[in-house]
Chain A
Amino acid sequence: MSIFVDKNTRVLVQGITGREGQFHTRQCIAYGTRVVAGVTPGKGGQKMDEVPVFDTVRQAVAATGANCSLIFVPPPFAADAILEAAEAGVSVIVAITEGIPVMDMLKVKNFIQNKPVRLIGPNCPGIITPGACKIGIMPAAIHKPGGPIGVVSRSGTLTYEVVHQLTGQGIGQTTCIGIGGDPVNGTNFIDCLEAFEADPETRGIVMVGEIGGSAEEEAAAWIAANGTKPVVGFIAGLTAPPGRRMGHAGAIVSGGSGTAEGKIAAMRQSGIEVCEDLGTLGEMCARVFG
């Protein structure tokens, strides 16, 4: 089992003919993902390898039955691409694009709120169900199929590090999902925790957060009230100075809120096993989930 996507998910790629789009589409296909269509306005009728390209998402959905969109469109056009996918009726949108203006994402978030669509990202590595499908840019080889651990993270390469250590301990993953490092994103920690909680094959969860905002604190409160599965947590940014944006637009400690200390305390209070030394996270998981 897995959450949000599986081997039957029919993926279309917006921005498929760009450099990034092409490269990662090929990687996804090589992993076994069913990429059924691509969209690049003005290039309808062409093919990217064997994948038919359409001018609009609506055409692609009508012709191929795609139900998930993977977005590589550059920041100035990305919000529009997300809205187009939502209006065309796909049920999952994975937005990889980094650098979308906050004002654009505010409109997107409010627009899709009452639609039957899940947005993952933006500014994220995507989602992978090891052994079944990879809808994103993560390196496939580090993952281990078969579960039993679900991984949810705000970061990209930090997630790879965590997954690598899990696999190194012989611990497989059900689904690994990157929710993105932007202040306004589609899917949050709680959405993923709920889904992992409901997935019978997921027996434990690793939650990777970072400074800024209050998503980790809210997730911790949700776990305290609803969680039945063991959770290991990690927060990046203990040494980050206040008021500086640490790479991710969302990673900023402002007005004393969003600190790593506050998040770690909230997580511990909710019964989450918090790892403070990333070098030993795999070992800790082996102990907690073993």
Chain B
Amino acid sequence: MKIHEYQAKALFGRFDVPIPAGRAAFSVDEAVAAAEDLGGYPVVVKAQIHAGGRGKGGGVKLARSREEVAKVAGEILGMTLVTHQTGPEGRLVKKVLVEQGLDIAKELYLSLLPDRGSAKYLVMASEAGGMDIETVAAETPEKIVKVWIDPLIGLQPFHVREVGFGLNLPPAAMKPFTRLLTNLFKLFVELDCSLVEINPLVLTADDRVLALDAKVNFDDNALYRHKDILDYRDLDEEDPLEVEASRHNLNYIKLDGNVGNMVNGAGLAMATMDIIKRAGASPANFLDVGGGASAEMVENGFRIILSDPNVRGILINIFGGILRCDVLAQGVVEAARKTRVNVPVVVRMEGTNVEEGRRILAESGLNLTSAVDLKDAAAKVAAIVK
């Protein structure tokens, strides 16, 4: 799960990770009030959306007076911000973060993540802050400091020294940096983060170290133990069909093709999307109904696929293991009766109770095309959307 910068900074505040003074605003008036409360100019007005590259897209602006705050907040609020992460359609900006301007001496990079390859925590830091870390890694990999931490011992003082000296911090900044990294690590572990990234982390002229930006992602599997974090979820930032699917415990991702598909199991779902593409068509979605899907879940999945106006045909591919083919067939029949199915549907079923499943579909009187295997299914779908 992703959250906004202002929410991440609220968490930083809670864990005593230094941040610039500031607060979120949902209107121009609120932005002006927030700036006035900071007690001095310049201030920075930052668009709050779940995507990076906001500065380049015109979503981050400096304001030197009350009037300028009103002007730039007015420009940013309500704008459709396009960055390299939003796609060409961009994202509507509904809130801004108004922050104190700082006297920056140096911009650094700092991140924490669980490293799947080593099964350790990984701290990454770089003197080349403020730029895309992937670019730094590609062009000047020697500027990245990596420190791996055994999860059984956690962050030790020597780890912090390895990072701090690796960043060539001035001696006076070492103590505040130690405090920052220690507290940030606590946040990272306690809140089950899948990523904590500060870019840039700034060193001020008076040797303070602050998080000028804040990106925090959470492990969805761990959210059950962080109910308070769930309050940070912003449905405006998600696709409405995906929100609807998540309400029914369905794993749905909207894509831009025209062949809807419903599959059990994530691996088979991806492979089915690939097959659709190979057949010359394009998948409209990823939908994994899971191993233990009920007829009701299948029905909801079907309805969600159909509510995507781009869908011109549907491929259902089920390998019945735990999810039995007869249960699936019932769900499809129910869904087809309740929703108006106006596109052709190809069904490929195999595995547990497959005969019973095929019988239910055949006797339903619905206009369904049966496929004997994957090759056959792909060909039939491609013929439909051509």
Partners in one complex: yes
Contact assessment for A158 and B151 in the assembled complex, using a CB-CB cutoff below 8 Å: no
Inter-chain CA distance A240–B256, complex, in Å, is 11
Contact assessment for B319 and A157 in the assembled complex, using a CB-CB cutoff below 8 Å: yes
Interface string of B306-345 (1 = CB under 8 A from A): 0000000000000111100000000000000000000000
Contact assessment for B270 and A157 in the assembled complex, using a CB-CB cutoff below 8 Å: no
Q: B8 at the A/B interface (Cβ < 8 Å)? A: no
A102: B residues at CB distance < 8 A: 114, 192, 194, 219, 221-222
Inter-chain CA distance A208–B222, complex, in Å, is 28
Inter-chain CA distance A208–B268, complex, in Å, is 11
Q: A137 at the A/B interface (Cβ < 8 Å)? A: yes
From the candidates B114, B222, B270, name the one contacting A240 in the complex (CB within 8 A).
B270
Contact assessment for A239 and B152 in the assembled complex, using a CB-CB cutoff below 8 Å: no
Inter-chain CA distance A45–B41, complex, in Å, is 72
Segment at the A interface, from B24-32, B56-64, B65-73, B116-124: B116-124
Q: How many Å from the CB of B222 to the closest CB on chain A? A: 4
Q: How many Å from the CB of A143 to the closest CB on chain B? A: 12
From the candidates B150, B152, B275, B292, name the one contacting A277 in the complex (CB within 8 A).
B275
Q: Which residue of B lies closest to A208 (CB)?
A: B267
Contact assessment for B321 and A137 in the assembled complex, using a CB-CB cutoff below 8 Å: yes
Inter-chain CA distance A247–B261, complex, in Å, is 14
Q: A290 at the A/B interface (Cβ < 8 Å)? A: no
Contact assessment for B265 and A240 in the assembled complex, using a CB-CB cutoff below 8 Å: no
Contact assessment for B266 and A248 in the assembled complex, using a CB-CB cutoff below 8 Å: yes
Q: B274 at the A/B interface (Cβ < 8 Å)? A: yes
Contact assessment for A110 and B271 in the assembled complex, using a CB-CB cutoff below 8 Å: no
Q: A99 at the A/B interface (Cβ < 8 Å)? A: yes
B340-386 interface with A by 8 A CB criterion: 350-352, 373-378
Segment at the B interface, from A35-43, A189-197, A249-257: A249-257
Given A160-B321, A279-B275, answer yes or no on A210-B119 (Cβ-Cβ < 8 Å).
no
A20: B residues at CB distance < 8 A: 292
B175-231 interface with A by 8 A CB criterion: 189, 192, 194, 219-222, 224-225
Q: B129 at the A/B interface (Cβ < 8 Å)? A: no
B253-290 interface with A by 8 A CB criterion: 253, 255, 263-271, 273-278, 282-283, 286, 288
Contact assessment for A110 and B152 in the assembled complex, using a CB-CB cutoff below 8 Å: yes
Inter-chain CA distance A280–B192, complex, in Å, is 41
Q: B130 at the A/B interface (Cβ < 8 Å)? A: no
Given A155-B268, A247-B251, answer yes or no on A214-B117 (Cβ-Cβ < 8 Å).
yes
Given A102-B114, A249-B221, answer yes or no on A278-B274 (Cβ-Cβ < 8 Å).
yes
Given A103-B219, A106-B119, answer yes or no on A239-B266 (Cβ-Cβ < 8 Å).
no
Q: How many Å from the CB of B295 to the closest CB on chain A? A: 17
A256: B residues at CB distance < 8 A: 134
A153: B residues at CB distance < 8 A: 267
Q: A164 at the A/B interface (Cβ < 8 Å)? A: yes
A103: B residues at CB distance < 8 A: 114, 151, 189, 192, 219, 222
From the candidates A76, A183, A238, A249, name the one contacting B274 in the complex (CB within 8 A).
A238
Inter-chain CA distance A183–B114, complex, in Å, is 9
Given A239-B283, A240-B273, A246-B253, answer yes or no on A106-B151 (Cβ-Cβ < 8 Å).
yes
Given contact pairs A109-B119, A137-B321, A237-B270, enumerate 16 new A-B contacts (beta carbons under 8 Å): A75-B224, A101-B225, A111-B152, A156-B265, A157-B268, A157-B291, A160-B268, A164-B319, A164-B350, A181-B267, A184-B119, A236-B274, A238-B277, A244-B286, A277-B375, A278-B374
A residues contacting B by CB (< 8 A) are 20, 75-76, 99-107, 109-111, 125, 137-139, 142, 153-161, 164, 181, 183-184, 208, 210-211, 213-214, 234, 236-241, 243-251, 255-256, 260, 276-280
14 examples of A-B residue contacts, CB within 8 angstroms: A100-B221, A101-B222, A103-B114, A103-B189, A103-B192, A153-B267, A155-B267, A161-B268, A184-B114, A184-B119, A234-B271, A237-B274, A278-B275, A279-B374
B residues contacting A by CB (< 8 A) are 85, 114, 116-117, 119-121, 134, 150-152, 189, 192, 194, 219-222, 224-225, 251, 253, 255, 263-271, 273-278, 282-283, 286, 288, 291-292, 319-322, 350-352, 373-378
